[in-house]
Amino acid sequence: MNSAHAGFPRGGVHPAEGKELSLGPEVVPVEAPAKVLVQVTQHLGKPSKVAVQKGDAVRVGQVLATADGPISAPVHSPVSGKVVKVADVPVVGALQGACIEIANDSKNEGAEEFARRPVIDWSASGTFLGRIRDAGIVGMGGAAFPTAVKLSPPGDARVDCLVLNGCECEPYLTADDTLMRSRPQDVLAGAVIMASILKVGRILVGIEENKPQAISALTAEALGRGYSFSFVGEAPTPEIVVVPLRTRYPQGAEKQLIDALLKRRVGSGKLPFSAGVVVQNVATAVAAYEAVALGKPLFERVVTVSGGAVNRPGNYRVKVGTTLSALVEAAGGTKENLKAMIAGGPMMGKSLRALDAPVTKAFSGLLLLDDREARSFVETDCIRCGRCVEACPMGLSPCEITALAEFSQWESAVGCGALDCVECGSCQYVCPARRHLVARIRLTKLFWRRMKK
Amino acid sequence: MSETRLLLQSSPHVRDVSSVQGIMHTVILSLVPALIAGVVFFGWRALAVTVVAVASCLAVEAAILRLAGKPVKTALVDGSAIITGLLLAMNLPSNLPFWMVGVGAVVAIGVAKHAYGGLGNNPFNPALVARVFMLIAFPGAMTSWPVTTCNGATDVLTAATPLGIMKMEGAAAAMQAASWWDLFIGNVGGCLGETSALALLLGGLFLLWRRVISYEIPVAFIGTVAAGTAVAWLVDPTKYPDPLWQVLSGGVMLGAWFMATDMVTSPVTRKGMLLFGVGCGVVTCVIRLLGGYPEGVSFSILVMNGLTPLIDRYVKPARFGAEAAQAEGGKA
């Protein structure tokens, strides 16, 4: 808890990190299965429009669905083969979602295009934003907001800093850490591209201090400018500072990260733009680099597969559209003592009932927890210990909000700041009465939005 | 891999090890030094009163849970009824008839706790409600204090407490009856668990170390009592003893470390706790220095228990980004 490094001002928790499980030497590539299910809409915003039909032959990187309007994103084929059908199937975070099923011919036709030598031609820097938009890049940290939108601040915003989020504060997950260790040049090249689009001269990379190798790798590249190996033409030279941060969950939450790095507070209901900042995840930066240097759309990503109930925990490079069952198979299958399956980290991830859903662009990890890691608890009455108040990074009183929610006092609960809740789960993590605080706050938001309609 | 045995729940999926039961057991442990001191100074009768108090609290708890159709076992092992029993005993004279102790348990668990919905829902500290009830119901028995066995007397003899002497005879007599040292170790008349400042301090520091309580309430409470009694002492030292003597005497230590810090009946925010502690201190001083009773700790905590919902309503944690939102609003 005591650290010389900067952190956010209040609240937070430090759960057992569990990162050693999956932190291997390298990223293991996973071959796409015979059948891939590419979710049509993988972002936050207006749903994408399907652009292929049953029977169409597709190549790697071909557009399967196009963006519908400015706050939307296209989706590309991760494999070559034939479109089998477009149908609703189970997806992560919803009961059903439209997916394009492709029969993979395993020929990888079109993939060679993205294997050429990377070149970032700065004389064409005006096209970078368009390339990122066309590549279908969305926030890969989990929010899945279209990256091109985040890189186009509203006219009145005065953005002076790009923040690269390498915190990966969720326990178990090591995909970003692995990416920073193995591809520090690409991370920073992507950051420089995004900084140039934003016209800012400063890039801050925030990394929790429990990732010393990632910190040193990025620091070395920032100092030695090794990231510019693929640059052609007159490249900008932004100031890049790698900042080790206190290891405390949720350090990677946007507002907490901005506070730790810049001592700026993003107000309630405001976006980072209001504080002159744009935050991008490190994996998103790599995707931006690949889009600009190789013209490669976002159709694969690094996913952590971890937990006590998986045989080969580690980080896997998988094609978007790979079913979770195929991913688990690549990770050696599950053990007998499997107790819970979670999409994402243990603090904010979603429980999975089955593994038929496909990997999406924002899918950061799959946890297969054993019966010691995943436990169910019986909720008892609140004893008003105040630990949730202490743990809340947003300065809320979760016990009060949920007490109101229990009596359907949605308006009062919102008055207590329910809408500020980022659902990080810190309150529920510390609650000795094991109360379902986050679920009740989610309900509050849901009912409030319905009332407003 | 059968799907049925998989755990499906909303996030977060991992939890800290702390539990209500763990908290309660820590509090029980922290009361052991005070119990030992009680036995040392008031003899085995102190232990007997404690055992009767705890046993009757558990019995009342079990009976009510059964009547209410709630799970008896889980609620019994949470330890809260044991704590109420222990704290009730700590607030009683060691020579109290056992049946009165039983009546106290019924009031504490039955009226003050379960009539409001059980653990977590009671607005007032159950042990203190029982104590004040007994003070009114059995005024004689509740204010006849056995002399400590260390003074060579048996527990048949009774004498006034140091604070009682202060009220009746002034500062000099009170300070002669009980020195700082007597008060510190607990060699004075009083409730069986309240006299030894040393034992209570040990338990309190243990709770602080285990993070079951935070420093705000005890420090604010004790600090306010010290400040208030210091003023009185400076104004009239013949009538009022010095603040250190005041802080070590009566129920301040027990109240500040164990009764006022009860999570259920005190505010949830740090700032609220400070306010709560100061309020307890002020009411204690007013009763001790100006009121008719020699001691006001129990009343002060109950008064502040009553104000806790109000404190929680108006003393909120600082919302993240509130100042930024305000600045923004100011500009617009």
Cβ partners under 8 Å of residue B264, min gap 6 = A383, A384, B119, B120, B121, B122, B125
Chain B interface test: which of A389, A406, A419, A438 (most B C-beta within 10 Å): A389
Chain A interface test: which of B3, B8, B9, B11 (most A C-beta within 10 Å): B11
Can you say how many angstroms the Cα of residue B92 is from the centroid of all Cα atoms in its chain? Answer: 12
- Residue A5, pLDDT score: 87
- Sequential pLDDT tens for chain A (453 residues): 456 789 998 999 999 999 999 987 789 999 999 999 999 999 999 999 999 999 999 999 999 999 999 999 999 999 999 999 999 999 998 878 999 999 999 999 999 999 999 999 999 999 999 999 999 999 998 889 999 999 999 988 899 999 999 999 999 999 999 999 999 999 999 999 999 999 999 999 999 999 999 999 999 999 999 999 999 999 999 999 999 999 999 999 999 999 999 999 999 889 999 999 999 999 999 999 999 999 999 999 999 999 999 999 999 999 999 999 999 999 999 999 999 999 999 999 999 989 999 999 999 999 999 999 998 888 999 999 999 999 999 999 999 999 999 999 999 999 999 999 999 999 999 999 999 999 999 999 999 999 887
| DSSP letter string, A307-331 | STTBSS-EEEEEETT-BHHHHHHHT
The ipTM (two decimal places) reads 0.90
Query: To which residue do tokens 């505010």 refer?
Result: B267
Distance CA B309, CA B312 (A): 5
CB contact under 8 A, A429 and B15: yes
Nearest to B194 by CA among B103, B63, B90: B90
A422 touches chain B (CB under 8 A): no
- Cβ neighbours around A332 below 10 Å, total: 13
Distance CA A328, CA A312 (A): 9
Containing H/E element for A121? strand A120-121
Burial of B168 from C-beta contacts in 10 A (0-12 / 13-18 / 19+): exposed
CB contact under 8 A, B7 and A354: no
pLDDT over 90 (residue B235): yes
- Cβ neighbours around B29 below 10 Å, total: 14
B310 touches chain A (CB under 8 A): no
Distance CA B156, CA A258 (A): 69
Nearest to A385 by CA among B3, B106, B9, B214: B214
Closest partner residue to A386 (CB to CB) among B1, B14, B269 is: B269
Cβ partners under 8 Å of residue A393, min gap 6 = A8, A10, A11, A12, A250, A253, A256, A422, A424, A426, B320
- Residue A150, pLDDT score: 94
Distance CA B179, CA B190 (A): 15
How many residues are present in chain A? 453
User: pLDDT tens digits, residue range B280-308?
Assistant: 999 999 999 998 888 899 999 999 999 99
- The answer to whether A167 and A251 are in contact (CB under 8 A) is yes
Burial of B61 from C-beta contacts in 10 A (0-12 / 13-18 / 19+): buried
User: pLDDT tens digits, residue range B135-187?
Assistant: 999 999 998 888 776 655 454 567 788 888 888 888 888 888 888 899 999 98
Query: Closest chain A residue to B19 measured between Cα atoms?
Result: A432
Mean pLDDT of chain A: 94
Task: Report chain A residues whose CB lies below 8 A from the CB of B325.
Answer: 267-270
B4 touches chain A (CB under 8 A): no
A311, two tokens: 């045989």
User: pLDDT tens digits, residue range A406-450?
Assistant: 999 999 999 999 999 999 999 999 999 999 999 999 999 999 999
A437 touches chain B (CB under 8 A): no
B295, two tokens: 């001691």
Size of interface A-B (CB pairs under 8 A): 177
The nearest CA of chain A is from the CA of B270 a distance in Å of: 8
B15 touches chain A (CB under 8 A): yes
Distance CA A327, CA A355 (A): 9
pLDDT over 50 (residue B101): yes
